[in-house]
């Protein structure tokens, strides 16, 4: 690449000059007293071409709408993750929903309005915050937002000092909203983040940097909640509300850095929280609101001793309170002697015991080789594939692949019959309103046809079942299933998910390298004359191996690789070539070849990529690919 004229000019200067690095400033110097290093031309080029760090020193008040929208989207995106770890104060697994509902209500109240009056803008946010606060975490977060808004309501811009002041005021209001504050909760995360912003408010003007520091200390405070509350320690989780508050700050940061919330980097986490539920000592969750000005103490005296998890929000005018109780009618009777209230009462015990159907669930073939804990977490039904191995019991070996190396008659497989799909559909429909069935490519397996036959049999509910041919297999199916579940977690409808899968499927690349082609040929998955089998087997032993891919759902020869000693290195070169050296997200599977699979994982991660999981291939794929096989499916990270 030719260097710009100004770079060449500086390069000439550098030959007789020195290059000093210090305190964030880089410049040419001829000062002999200082310790110098000669600057090669590549170093000057690198510095000149380095992208500038984004700085945001002020935020327009009306841009608060974008920040709230970013926070809302980020919480909605992670609501299931938040729900899973919700065990305090009640293990009702709804903290994510309550936080999302609170923020969605606020966003909905202001999203479609154009504001020119700052006072009206802040007033509408305050009113929406009061009206939509739900649950413990929602009430505490609403308290934080009300305090934050109080600090900025008369200002045109927010700078680093005003941000710190607003966060400090928000923290104070959050603490005041709770009758009995407890350590090891969302309050700890608010404390740490707000205190950090106050600490660095004068020396750091870049609001992006301030939020990054706030999130950093907030994460540390969140990790410590497990040690402060016995119930969190017992379940080996951190506080759900605290995690939710961090997602709000992260949403703000993403909007400031990128302008909008982008696709989440990771489809699913490797850490799966416990789903155990403990019934609360209180049955009902009561929330009440009045638009009149009433002193908190008046209400507190009326409801004292009638429950726990008491929280208050005050606005001008208006008051809202939340309580877990066994006596909702008694509370209604007492507080309505003061003023007229609107009440919302939820039966938490009924919520525990009632199985609610979720909108969309997944059914996949075992060929997708999804991790068992992932299947369990999202209640994904897995369709088994039959295998017939006549010599299986007669041949010695620790596993299928050791036996295959010795077998004269190889195992055979078939598409899973429609009866297996029927069983899975019936199970899935107990938990979900609609189900999406991901099948391997119809050009390789008859599974798609069997899935549709099973759907047709269930006439009354067939409109709630959709079979999707992903035109992939094995690791490729796994990526498609993970993508589908990620969209389900975001709250997408089945129709929206299908549209996205149609767009996404062609982006997924599939590479397969086998140790011996005879298994694919004998299994009928590759069309090669039988007399060529010994030739291919011999070539494989000499390091000449074909690279196989999927094209329009069919297995095809991509290229011939010579001198292959390390399949992992061979595949990483091909991945870099196809992705143009951009980072990829991948799934890796193998047939009795874990060492190569882990080496490939390491290579992908070295290049800045991400591996969702490494797994053995399914038996149905393994009997055709044969021992020693290494498979990777990947797509570029957006």
Write down the pLDDT at residue 623: 76
Give the start-end residues of each E strand in 4-148. 18-22, 25-29, 59-60
The 10s digit of each residue's pLDDT in 521-550 is 665 555 566 666 666 666 666 667 788 899
pLDDT band at 28 (very low <50, low <70, confident <90, very high): very low
Write down the pLDDT at residue 483: 93
- As a three-state string, the secondary structure of 570-603 is HHHHHHHHHHCCCCEEEEEEECCCHHHHHHHHHH
* Cα 377 to Cα 264: distance, rounded to the nearest angstrom: 19
Q: What is the mean pLDDT of residues 95-101?
A: 84
* Cα 135 to Cα 287: distance, rounded to the nearest angstrom: 8
Write down the pLDDT at residue 390: 64
Q: What is the DSSP string of 507-544?
A: G-EEEEE-S-THHHHHTTSS---GGGHHHHHHHHHTT-
Write down the pLDDT at residue 198: 95
Whether the predicted model's global pTM rises above the 0.75 cut: no
**Contact (CB, 8 A) for 331 and 303:** yes
pLDDT score of 299 more than 60: yes
Three-state SS at 449: helix
**Contact (CB, 8 A) for 268 and 482:** yes
Closest CA to 513 of 548, 555, 470, 557: 548
What is the Rg, in whole angstroms, of the alpha carbon atoms belonging to the chain?
Answer: 30
The 10s digit of each residue's pLDDT in 172-229 is 998 988 888 888 999 999 999 999 999 999 899 999 999 999 999 999 999 999 999 9
- DSSP label of 356: P
- DSSP label of 178: B
- DSSP label of 37: B
Closest CA to 358 of 244, 227, 491, 189: 491
Q: What is the mean pLDDT of residues 389-401?
A: 59
Three-state SS at 512: strand
Question: Which helix (H) or strand (E) covers residue 231, if one does?
Answer: helix 230-235
Write down the pLDDT at residue 111: 77
Residue 610 vs residues 81, 394, 416: alpha-carbon distances, Å: 20, 42, 31
What would the two tokens of residue 510 be? 């599939």
* Cα 578 to Cα 621: distance, rounded to the nearest angstrom: 24
CA dihedral 594, 595, 597, 599 (to 10 degrees): 160
- As a three-state string, the secondary structure of 292-305 is CCCCHHHHHHHHCC
Three-state SS at 138: helix
Question: Domains of the chain, with CATH numbers?
Answer: 5-49 (no CATH), 59-258 (1.25.40.340), 284-353 (3.30.2130.10), 358-505 (3.40.50.10170), 509-636 (3.30.1180.10)
The 10s digit of each residue's pLDDT in 32-72 is 444 334 445 545 455 445 556 788 999 998 889 899 989 98
């Amino acid at each position: 690449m030719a260097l710009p004229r100004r770079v060449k000019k500086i390069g000439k200067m550098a030959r007789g000059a020195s290059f000093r690095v210090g305190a964030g400033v880089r410049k040419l110097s001829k000062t002999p007293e200082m310790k110098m290093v000669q600057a090669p031309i590549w170093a000057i080029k690198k510095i000149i071409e380095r992208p500038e760090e984004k700085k945001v020193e002020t935020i327009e008040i009306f841009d608060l709408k974008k920040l709230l929208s970013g926070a809302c989207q980020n919480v909605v995106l992670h609501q299931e993750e938040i729900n899973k770890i919700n065990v305090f104060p009640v293990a009702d697994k709804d903290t994510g929903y309550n936080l999302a509902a609170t923020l969605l209500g606020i966003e909905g109240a202001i999203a479609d309005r154009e504001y020119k009056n700052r006072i009206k803008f802040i007033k509408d946010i305050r009113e929406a915050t009061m009206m939509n606060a739900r649950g413990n975490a929602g009430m505490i977060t609403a308290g934080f937002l009300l305090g934050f808004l109080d600090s900025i309501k008369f200002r045109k811009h927010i700078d680093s000092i005003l941000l710190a002041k607003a966060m400090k005021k928000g923290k104070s209001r959050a603490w005041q909203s709770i009758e009995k504050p407890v350590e090891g909760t969302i309050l700890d995360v608010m404390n740490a983040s707000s205190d950090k912003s106050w600490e660095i408010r004068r020396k750091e003007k870049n609001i992006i940097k301030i939020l990054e520091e706030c999130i950093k200390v907030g994460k540390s405070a969140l990790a410590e909640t497990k040690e402060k509350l016995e119930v969190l320690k017992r379940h080996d989780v951190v506080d759900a509300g605290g995690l939710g508050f961090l997602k709000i700050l992260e949403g703000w940061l993403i909007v400031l850095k990128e302008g909008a919330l982008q696709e989440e980097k990771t489809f699913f986490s490797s850490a799966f929280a416990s789903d155990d539920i403990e019934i609360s000592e209180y049955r009902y969750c009561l929330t009440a609101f009045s638009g009149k000005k009433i002193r908190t103490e008046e209400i507190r005296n009326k409801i004292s001793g009638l429950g726990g998890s008491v929280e208050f929000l005050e606005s001008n005018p208006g008051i809202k309170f939340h309580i877990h109780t066994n006596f909702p009618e008694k509370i209604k009777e007492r507080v309505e002697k003061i003023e007229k209230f609107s009440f919302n009462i939820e039966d938490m015990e009924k919520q525990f015991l009632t199985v609610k159907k979720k909108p969309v669930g997944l059914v996949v073939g075992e060929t997708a080789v999804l991790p068992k804990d992932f299947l369990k977490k999202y209640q994904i039904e897995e369709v088994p594939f039959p295998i017939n191995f006549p010599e299986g019991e007669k041949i010695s070996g620790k596993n299928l692949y050791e036996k295959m190396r010795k077998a004269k008659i190889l195992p055979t497989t078939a598409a899973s019959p429609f009866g297996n799909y029927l069983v899975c559909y019936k199970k899935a429909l107990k938990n979900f309103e609609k189900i999406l069935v991901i099948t391997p490519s119809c050009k390789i397996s008859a599974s798609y046809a069997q899935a549709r036959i099973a759907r047709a049999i269930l006439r009354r509910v067939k409109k709630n079942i959709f079979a999707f041919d992903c035109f992939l297999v094995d690791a490729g199916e796994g990526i498609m299933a993970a993508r589908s579940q990620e969209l389900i977690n975001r709250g997408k409808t089945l129709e929206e998910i299908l549209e996205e899968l149609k767009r996404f499927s062609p982006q997924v690349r599939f590479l397969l390298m086998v140790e011996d082609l005879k298994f694919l040929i004998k299994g009928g998955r590759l069309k090669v004359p039988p007399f060529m089998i010994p030739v291919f087997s011999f070539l494989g032993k000499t390091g000449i191996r074909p690279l196989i891919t999927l094209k329009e759902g069919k297995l095809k020869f991509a290229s011939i690789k010579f001198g292959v000693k390390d399949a992992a290195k061979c595949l990483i070169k091909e991945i870099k070539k196809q992705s143009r050296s951009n980072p990829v997200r991948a799934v890796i599977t193998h047939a009795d070849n874990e060492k190569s699979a882990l080496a490939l994982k390491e290579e992908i991660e070295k290049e800045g990529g991400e591996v969702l999981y490494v797994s053995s291939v399914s038996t149905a794929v393994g009997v055709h690919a044969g021992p020693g096989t290494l498979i990777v499916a990947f797509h570029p990270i957006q």
